[in-house]
């Protein structure tokens, strides 16, 4: 392989989005090396969701959803297995306190031009009759969508504006502009962009990334059981716990008619085995919201790992101690959602183009003390 303008290490959704971009230089090529198969892209739900826990998260997810809405129909036309669908999200309020939270969330989203709708209990029951009676209502965010992430990443690599040289290889180490593969060969580029999820710490010591293990279950085909992504409003609190194990109700209707059930979070384990106790807690939580799930057949369960940072924001930008290394890591459960805006921000930083977002909240400089020079 001749030298590439950018070598992207990691061919999951984040790496694929970074490689896909129409880079603002005249003759840009990207080499994409996947360190290992079966990362977060393959394990996750593929929920494309605007998240608003803080301004930086909202900016990154909102900009990304705009790009997903443009990509989605094209993906389905070229590769139907991408299964992009604009199902929307219902943030479920179980009680009056959570309904007040839904109202506050609606006000914040509307202030940023994001269309949403508050639903009272009768409206929610009419829209999703499988939900248990007694819920207070919900916030509907119509622009949220779903995608089958492994196929979407494949589409991004195959439909870039300029050719991408893709290699399925294991990266042993990064040395300046050089990427050393496990077979002893070397690839060299103008810059190296690390987008390898939880495995990034093996190649860039000092990255403050912890694995968050999650469980998922999927049912047989039951078309029409639910029509929207259903998420309890308590999910946000559970998602950002920094210790312990938590579960939250998160149910996704797949275009296949299957139902994808989440979610759970466990810290500081890289054991991929199913934890039956955690899985049982997660399923009981789902049954509390959709009791009819007890009558359906689950056909598969699995686990995956999110890459979490101490402050809950991704690390995007130039490594503070290595002039040729750029980072796109630590997106936790929002890697699929925020891949487009992350890629756009990095492309602008690397090439000196106009920045689409303020890079400061995601800068690696905030962890410069822990990153090894």
Q: Comparing 4-45+149-208+311-367 with 86-143+210-308, is the CATH topology the same?
A: no
Position with higher pLDDT, 39 vs 200: 200
Tell me the per-residue pLDDT of 316-330, one tens digit each, with 9 for 90 and over.
Answer: 999 999 999 999 999
Instruction: Give percent above pLDDT 90 in the chain.
Output: 82
CATH of domain 86-143+210-308: 3.30.9.10
* pLDDT band at residue 162 using 50, 70 and 90 as cut-offs: confident
* pLDDT band at residue 29 using 50, 70 and 90 as cut-offs: low
pLDDT score for 268: 79
Q: Per-domain residue ranges for the chain?
A: 4-45+149-208+311-367, 86-143+210-308
State how far the Cα of 149 lies from the Cα of 12, in Å rounded to an integer. Answer: 8
Local structure of residue 177 (DSSP, 8 states): T
* pLDDT band at residue 25 using 50, 70 and 90 as cut-offs: low
Average pLDDT over all residues of the chain: 92
* pLDDT band at residue 38 using 50, 70 and 90 as cut-offs: very low
* pLDDT band at residue 37 using 50, 70 and 90 as cut-offs: very low
Alpha helices in the chain (DSSP H): 13-20, 40-43, 55-78, 96-111, 121-127, 149-158, 200-203, 235-239, 276-289, 335-351
Local structure of residue 291 (DSSP, 8 states): G
Which fold would CATH assign to domain 4-45+149-208+311-367? FAD/NAD(P)-binding domain (3.50.50)
**pLDDT > 60? residue 217:** yes
Bridge-partner residues for 260, per DSSP?
Answer: 218, 252
Prediction pTM value: 0.94
pLDDT score for 151: 96
CB 255 within 8 A of CB 222: no
């Amino acid at each position: 392989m001749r030298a590439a303008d950018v070598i992207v290490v990691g061919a999951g959704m984040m790496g694929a989005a970074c490689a896909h971009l129409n880079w603002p230089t005249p003759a840009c090529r990207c080499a994409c090396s996947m360190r290992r198969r079966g990362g977060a892209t393959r394990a996750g739900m593929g929920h494309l969701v605007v998240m608003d826990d803080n301004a930086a998260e909202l900016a990154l997810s909102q900009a990304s959803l705009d790009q997903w809405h443009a990509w989605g129909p094209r993906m389905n036309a070229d590769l139907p297995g991408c299964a992009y669908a604009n199902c929307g999200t219902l943030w479920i309020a179980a009680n009056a306190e959570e309904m007040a939270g839904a109202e506050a969330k609606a006000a914040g989203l509307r202030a940023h031009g994001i269309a949403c709708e508050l639903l009272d209990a009768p409206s929610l029951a009419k829209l999703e009759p499988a939900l248990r009676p007694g819920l207070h209502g919900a916030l509907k965010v119509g622009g949220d969508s779903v995608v089958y992430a492994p196929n979407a990443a494949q589409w991004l690599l195959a439909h870039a504006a300029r050719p991408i040289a893709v290699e399925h290889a294991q990266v042993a180490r990064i040395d300046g502009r050089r990427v050393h593969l496990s077979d002893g060969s070397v690839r060299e580029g103008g810059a190296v962009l690390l987008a390898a999820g939880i495995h990034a710490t093996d190649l860039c010591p000092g990255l403050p990334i912890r694995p968050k293990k999650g469980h998922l279950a999927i049912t047989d085909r039951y078309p029409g059981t639910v029509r929207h992504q259903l998420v309890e409003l308590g999910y946000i609190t559970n998602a950002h716990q920094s210790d312990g194990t938590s579960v939250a109700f998160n149910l996704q209707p797949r275009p296949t008619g299957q139902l994808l059930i989440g979610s759970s979070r466990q810290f500081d384990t890289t054991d991929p085995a199913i934890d039956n106790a955690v899985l049982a807690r997660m399923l009981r939580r789902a049954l509390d919201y959709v009791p009819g799930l007890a009558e359906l057949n689950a056909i598969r369960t699995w686990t995956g790992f999110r890459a979490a940072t101490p402050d809950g924001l991704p690390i995007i930008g130039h490594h503070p101690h290595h002039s040729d290394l750029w980072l796109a890591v630590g997106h936790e459960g929002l890697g699929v959602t925020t891949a487009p805006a992350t890629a756009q921000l990095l492309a602008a930083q690397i090439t000196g183009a106009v920045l689409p977002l303020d890079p400061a909240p995601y800068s690696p400089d905030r962890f410069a003390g822990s990153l090894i020079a």
